[in-house]
Structure 1
Amino acid sequence: MTSVFDEPKPSDDSHESKIVINGEEEKEEENDNPIEEVRLTVPITDDPTLPVLTFRTWFLGLLSCILLAFVNQFFSFRSNQLWVSSVAAQIVTLPLGKLMAKTLPTKKFGFPGTNWSWSLNPGPFNMKEHVLITIFANTGAGGVYATSIITIVKAFYNRQLNVAAAMLLTQTTQLLGYGWAGMFRKFLVDSPYMWWPSNLVQVSLFRALHEKEDLQKGQQTRFRFFLIVFGVSFAYYIIPGYLFPSISTISFVCWIWKSSVTAQIVGSGLKGLGIGSFGLDWSTVAGFLGSPLAVPFFAIANFFGGFFIFLYIVLPIFYWTNAYDAQKFPFYTSHTFDQTGHTYNITRILNEKNFDINLDAYNGYSKLYLSVMFALLYGLSFGSLFATISHVALYDGKFIWGMWKKAKTATKDKYGDVHSRLMKKNYQSVPQWWFIVVLVISFAFALYACEGFDKQLQLPWWGLILACAIALFFTLPIGVIQATTNQQMGLNVITELIIGYLYPGKPLANVAFKTYGYISMSQALYFVGDFKLGHYMKIPPRSMFIVQLVATVVASTVCFGTTWWLITSVENICNVDLLPVGSPWTCPGDEVFYNASIIWGVIGPGRMFTKEGIYPGMNWFFLIGLLAPVPFWYLSKKFPEKKWLKQIHVPLIFSAVSAMPQAKAVHYWSWAIVGVVFNYYIFRRFKTWWARHNYILSAALDAGTAIMGVLIFFAFQNNDISLPDWWGLENSDHCPLASCPTAKGVVVEGCPVF
């Protein structure tokens, strides 16, 4: 379907390589983008007559958005999560688009009295349609952070939540970012110096898929390779997904020492150090950490190095020296505990009516304790934030400041680089008032969600305004960093700290503030990054805006609906103690989110990370993170010939374990091994094969596993069709003693007492 948003500006010279500026014709430079990577990757040609918002775009785009939003949200509740990226849709929709171009009728329909016309089939399937379909898919794949709030309220706190308030929460947290994106797009999109490196991967893949393949003898097309791997992945996943779940994590050390707590802590891939543990399941490899096939080797090395230092050096020292009473609690858990070593009974300190902390009950019960692993993870999250600031300032500070000064100068030029000139010449820009309208409407509904519905979300009006102010303040500086270095600093820790001190004892206020402050900034940069992709691919800006807006609303609705459906239909979802043996509905990510709401919301940082609490020592990580990059930066300057020193990335090392405790040792080991094999060994030895098939292999494995997982649920699990109970049916690694405390005198059911 074509529309006014697709039509280029009327121009008599739309096919000529010249631009009229101040009445004078100037020849368009062949390529004057200042960034070499952009010059080497992004084409400088454009055909503004290509149809963009066609029926094919809407049909395949909405279908991809809905499917990916549903699949990823569905799997987020399961023990072995799986995230299917938009690359799968990007590859699958190409032949579907070409098939529609061959089979749909080409008849045009007009509207009386207007120049507007549309057709189901306006011509060959083109790259611009494909880009917009991928934007749809990418929005669906991104998920909705706010659904975790709904899950913890209904499944963990077992409280009622108005469905309208929940729906408004999911929509407004996703849409507020449009306002910040509109304010800063001039600097972050139009400037040639804000080049968004991650977009170049997408540009390369689009060109590879649409350029004609020059096949050598014995080679097969990329799509045929995709179908073969997809079929194998689809068929295989019925084994770990239904017939034999135990092969997802194999911890053979526990099979040998069945009665030793220490041996099982050492050997368990899910609850311990995971020595010798591995999995025969793609969701074990990619479910929590993403596909390792899409991560460069230097990042894998830093990432795994950070994991290894934490899990095999730092954590054992703290645990076996009994720091913070570590041995009273399980080795690897995100649960919260009281001073006796038992699970913290949160109902004892909550006021049932107001859903806030009862200080008298808290003082008469116990301070909040964490496993030493979980406490150290919070310390590392403090350190990673400051390490990012320090690293970027040291390694990229001069570069970013120079880019920013040039960006301000470049945006004064009406045309900027060749890509800006092509976009401004051929297409109408998005009016600023479009962004303002979305911002005003989103803020109004967000205010209603917080202040209405008997204030179920607990966040007062000033909290919403403060969250928006934080997001607005950080969007531009963090956007400049991300657009030039591909690093985004998260605001979740800062937002939790701020509202935790200002408004303690309110768990939902804390998570709502964090979501509005952190996600609206993150969404703004997501929108801006996609606008830059459209800028490179010469997509009409108004078409980009319409697609992003519709996709955001659709994806948010699907994620909300999927969450609400699963919470209300799966009995005892997220409650591990009441779920049947082998049930996958353990909600590992939401469990961490729930415990964070207790730590930062109910108890508050003032009672956790100061002298009033147990863990004031974690504050040293702020200083450690700030100083850690300095020696590596100094050595890289002193010894410039040692190039490996420049590959040490301290923020990546600090943030390597940020996926814990949802991700376990077995996930890290499986992810790293596959990543090293493909992105080091195969990349170096068989580069031609890697270039043609690596990303497609990743997409096919994701898609086959995900689709079989959904089919298993609807065909078997949803109809209570199960296999006879046997050893391999347990969704565990058969290391029950790995969760036992090792301190003397602590009594836990099913564990030996030391």
Structure 2
Amino acid sequence: MDTTPLLRRKNITRPSGITSEATRSEGEEELENEIEAELENSPVEQVALTVPVTDDPTLPVTTFRMWFLGALSCVVLSFLNQFFWYRTEPLSISAVSAQIAVVPLGHLMARTLPDRVFFKGRPWEFTLNPGPFNIKEHVLITIFANCGAGTVYAIHIVTVIKAFYQKHIGFFVSFVVVLTTQILGFGWAGIFRRYLVEPASMWWPANLVQVSLFRALHEKEKRPRGSLSRNQFFLVAFICSFAYYVVPGYLFPMVTSLSWLCWIFPKSVLYQQLGSGLYGLGIGAIGIDWSTISSYLGSPLASPWFATANIAAGFVLVMYIVTPLAYWLNLYKAKTFPIFSDDLFTASGQEYNISSIITSDFKLDLAAYEREGPLYLSTFFAFTYGVGFASLTATVVHVSLFHGREIWELSKSAFQEKKIDIHTRLMRKYKQAPEWWFMIILLINVGVTIFACEYYNDQLQLPWWGVLLACTLAIFFTLPIGIITATTNQTPGLNIITEYIIGYLYPGYPVANMCFKVYGYISMTQAITFLQDFKLGHYMKIPPVTMFMAQIVGTLISGIVYLGTAWWLLDSITDICNTSLLPSSSPWTCPSDRVFYDASVIWGLIGPRRIFGDLGIYEAINWFFLAGAIAPLLVWCAHKAYPDKEWIRLINMPVLIGATGMMPPATAVNYTSWIIVGFIFGFLVYRYRRDWWQRNNYVLSGALDAGLAFMGVLLYLCLGLEDISLNWWGSDLDGCSLATCPTAKGVYVEGCPVFK
């Protein structure tokens, strides 16, 4: 490579007479390497500003510290996240908390553990203390922690069967379902690594938060004059977040959703429907609480502005145009029910008695269903399913139109040398985890799943062909949904289409429906999670084989701990999840599991044909499939007609249409608060204070997560265990008690006015 033009751009001249590689000075070679690295840097600006383009392959990675702290963080996060999952305001403790907490522990172990070498000179030589605690160990510990962050989706099946249906499922059967659903996605991840990890355009925005935090915690940085270093900034933001969360977490919970319209009109059903952030449209509602902002959509600081804008447009369209029009036009008897609710209703607006239509062998009692009458949904809940239909077809069409050629080129050149960026070039130095490892895991999991579903069919209800069909759906959608996630930080779900398909093919079996959904949906989601971790390791130059081992072990540990914690809580807390029997002050209301239960009734027990089909009320909702397929085509045509208008290409229909996919259990205030913060940091700060954004944006996101998590745990340990609470007007989360009332004439609901 002739670097003379590059050197000229850097105001460097090559000394006279020096023309060969061998005779160039070391300083000049280093400078040229630096220039080459800069030119090979990621074409994505956020990545180029955040991820280092260097690597030190001599750093020890598979150390005792890594395995010990990684397993410990995975166990602790798995326990805490499942413990808080059943609560009314679930607290999700992200891996960022462990990422920070293990730093002093890692340095302590580096100072105190003996450095004696065992089995010296042999292939299995090792030492407990190979030297200073380093960044690559820290990344792998965080990969372990990622396995314990969030929740294990298959636990929903156990909770719904035991707590809502009050039927039997064995611990071993539950363990097999949890384990296979968590690991099944590993097979898809191995297949799609070359498409979703190596290309620079697949940049995975959420990873940049962790990369920034790693650099802040490990790199020595000189404090800029008149400013703070990244370490200092993180510490200040962490302390502020930690101290502030005592306000929404204990002293003044109302700041979770400040719905001022309800305060101005305390006796108006209409204004409370409009203004409630938790039970209505959330007009003007805002949450001054990081958990409100980040709980369902993730950190708005990690979302690129174009994705935030698409979500904002989709939210406004569904929440402020479609829903009010449908409600006040009384579409599907909308005024008989709350404007925003995930409950199931009778035609008279009363809650549906599901237990009355279930037979003793856990199937639909058709005669009882005919007596009870058809099941109704709130209009918003019905449209939520329509949005899910549209988002699915929009994802397939969008990826085909905008990324089809790229996918085809990658497929053709999969085994050929191709142009790569600096990060992929550096990773080529390490031994890759062979694809057949992933295929073996995939085949074993499919075999075990089929055996479990056939042998324990009385508990799981899913036939063998259902397992194969679920796997087919998962592998088909992993690539298009992976592309959406890798470029926008938003993940469209397969939960609705999986429920829809098995509901038509195998109606009347609620557990079969739940199992099919989990195997079809969560195996794809797990594949996306694994791929995101692969990309984090790619950015931080972690050997792929070591990544493989850490992910497998972490997934096994998290599955065991999650299930054990859930089983303990379900057996030890009286009436858990049963809001009709729990005391009003009880936090164990299980909001997310309630939505999962409702879905099992709609799609599994009763079946889509009696709700969304020719025997149902909501048949017209199926037109959303067609609308979703057409929408990306319109954007593509506009882009072709006006190729110079770059903003047209930034319209991402899968994200825009699926914006409200998390609602419910997410509420309006979660979205309004998230959008406002996303606009401030993703647009204003990024555009007008670029230097500050580059140094502090992702560090701030990590500090807010960590401060919230640590104070949340501390409040529970100090006050929650002793049931010490405040009871005053600021303790009311929303203050909009009338927002859930119907407005149809003559409908009586306890606690609501009757309109005449």
Partner residue in 2 for 1:21: none
Segments of 5+ residues of structure 1 without an aligned counterpart are 1-15, 18-27
Distance 1:414 1:686, change over 3 A: closer
Q: 2:338 aligns with which of 330, 353, 362?
A: 330
One-letter amino acid of the structure 2 residue matched with residue 330 of structure 1? P
Q: Distance in 2 between matches of 1:472 and 1:673?
A: 36
Distance 1:136 1:745, change over 3 A: same
Segments of 5+ residues of structure 2 without an aligned counterpart are 1-20, 23-32
- Stretch moving more, 431-440 or 449-458: 431-440
One-letter amino acid of the structure 1 residue matched with residue 397 of structure 2? S
Determine if contact 1:76/1:82 at 8 Å carries over to the other structure: yes
Pair 1:126 & 2:158 matched: no
Identity %: 54
Distance 1:529 1:710, change over 3 A: closer
Pair 1:355 & 2:374 matched: no
Partner residue in 2 for 1:20: none
Distance 1:685 1:104, change over 3 A: farther
SS at match of 2:88: coil
SS at match of 2:61: coil
The CA deviation at 1:375 is 0.3
Pair 1:51 & 2:32 matched: no
The CA deviation at 1:92 is 4.3
Distance 1:436 1:639, change over 3 A: closer
Partner residue in 1 for 2:14: none
One-letter amino acid of the structure 2 residue matched with residue 753 of structure 1? V
One-letter amino acid of the structure 2 residue matched with residue 56 of structure 1? R
Q: 1:342 aligns with which of 326, 346, 350?
A: 350
Partner residue in 2 for 1:221: 229
The CA deviation at 1:513 is 0.6
Q: Distance in 1 between matches of 2:199 and 2:286?
A: 45
1:232-381 equivalence runs, <5 A: 232-352=240-360, 354-381=361-388
One-letter amino acid of the structure 1 residue matched with residue 652 of structure 2? H
Distance 1:384 1:690, change over 3 A: same
The CA deviation at 1:138 is 1.8
Partner residue in 2 for 1:728: 730
1:96-495 equivalence runs, <5 A: 96-110=105-119, 114-185=122-193, 192=199, 195-198=202-205, 201=208, 203=211, 206-207=214-215, 209-352=217-360, 354-406=361-413, 408=414, 411-413=415-417, 423=427, 425-427=429-431, 429-431=432-434, 434-453=437-456, 455-475=458-478, 489-495=492-498
- Stretch moving more, 286-295 or 495-504: 286-295
Partner residue in 1 for 2:541: 538
Partner residue in 1 for 2:751: 750
SS at match of 1:694: helix
The CA deviation at 1:536 is 4.6
Partner residue in 2 for 1:80: 89
Determine if contact 2:257/2:669 at 8 Å carries over to the other structure: yes
Partner residue in 2 for 1:13: none
Distance 1:652 1:199, change over 3 A: closer
SS at match of 1:393: helix
Q: Distance in 1 between matches of 2:438 and 2:646?
A: 45
RMSD: 3.1
- Stretch moving more, 84-93 or 593-602: 84-93
Q: 1:551 aligns with which of 547, 554, 566?
A: 554
Distance 1:247 1:584, change over 3 A: farther
SS at match of 2:442: helix
Pair 1:715 & 2:718 matched: yes
Q: Distance in 1 between matches of 2:323 and 2:585?
A: 29
- Stretch moving more, 379-388 or 637-646: 637-646
SS at match of 1:50: coil
The CA deviation at 1:484 is 7.2
SS at match of 1:738: coil
The CA deviation at 1:168 is 1.8
- Stretch moving more, 375-384 or 219-228: 219-228
- Stretch moving more, 580-589 or 199-208: 199-208
List per-residue Cα deviations over 1:84-119 (Å, max 9, x = no partner): 3333433444454344334433222227x9332222
Partner residue in 1 for 2:632: 629
One-letter amino acid of the structure 2 residue matched with residue 685 of structure 1? Y
Distance 1:83 1:355, change over 3 A: same
Distance 1:34 1:622, change over 3 A: farther
Determine if contact 2:204/2:535 at 8 Å carries over to the other structure: no
Determine if contact 1:174/1:519 at 8 Å carries over to the other structure: yes
Pair 1:505 & 2:531 matched: no
Determine if contact 1:162/1:453 at 8 Å carries over to the other structure: no
Q: Distance in 2 between matches of 1:704 and 1:416?
A: 38
SS at match of 1:658: helix
Distance 1:210 1:439, change over 3 A: same
Q: Distance in 2 between matches of 1:235 and 1:45?
A: 37
SS at match of 1:736: coil
Relative to the length of structure 2, the TM-score reads: 0.88
Determine if contact 1:534/1:544 at 8 Å carries over to the other structure: yes
List per-residue Cα deviations over 1:281-302 (Å, max 9, x = no partner): 2212222222212212222222
Determine if contact 1:109/1:117 at 8 Å carries over to the other structure: yes
Q: 1:68 aligns with which of 62, 66, 77?
A: 77
Pair 1:584 & 2:591 matched: no
Determine if contact 1:269/1:278 at 8 Å carries over to the other structure: yes
Determine if contact 2:41/2:53 at 8 Å carries over to the other structure: no
Q: 1:517 aligns with which of 508, 515, 520?
A: 520
List per-residue Cα deviations over 1:143-165 (Å, max 9, x = no partner): 21111111211222222321221
Q: Distance in 2 between matches of 1:424 and 1:48?
A: 12
Distance 1:745 1:652, change over 3 A: same
- Stretch moving more, 644-653 or 592-601: 644-653
Distance 1:188 1:652, change over 3 A: closer
Q: Distance in 2 between matches of 1:328 and 1:744?
A: 8
Pair 1:643 & 2:650 matched: no
The CA deviation at 1:325 is 0.4
Determine if contact 1:80/1:283 at 8 Å carries over to the other structure: no
Partner residue in 1 for 2:13: none
Q: Distance in 2 between matches of 1:247 and 1:102?
A: 44
Distance 1:585 1:245, change over 3 A: farther
One-letter amino acid of the structure 2 residue matched with residue 594 of structure 1? Y
Aligned residue pairs, count: 721
Distance 1:753 1:655, change over 3 A: same
Q: Distance in 1 between matches of 2:749 and 2:207?
A: 53
List per-residue Cα deviations over 1:342-390 (Å, max 9, x = no partner): 11111121112x1010112112221111000000010111111112222
The CA deviation at 1:432 is 5.1
Partner residue in 1 for 2:15: none
Q: Distance in 1 between matches of 2:410 and 2:50?
A: 20
Q: Distance in 2 between matches of 1:229 and 1:118?
A: 39
SS at match of 1:719: coil
Distance 1:420 1:305, change over 3 A: closer
The CA deviation at 1:541 is 2.5
Determine if contact 2:258/2:287 at 8 Å carries over to the other structure: yes
Q: Distance in 2 between matches of 1:101 and 1:269?
A: 49
Distance 1:280 1:649, change over 3 A: same
Q: Distance in 2 between matches of 1:684 and 1:318?
A: 38
One-letter amino acid of the structure 2 residue matched with residue 397 of structure 1? G
Q: Distance in 2 between matches of 1:382 and 1:307?
A: 16
One-letter amino acid of the structure 2 residue matched with residue 380 of structure 1? V
Q: Distance in 2 between matches of 1:435 and 1:187?
A: 16
Determine if contact 2:313/2:656 at 8 Å carries over to the other structure: yes
- Stretch moving more, 531-540 or 40-49: 40-49
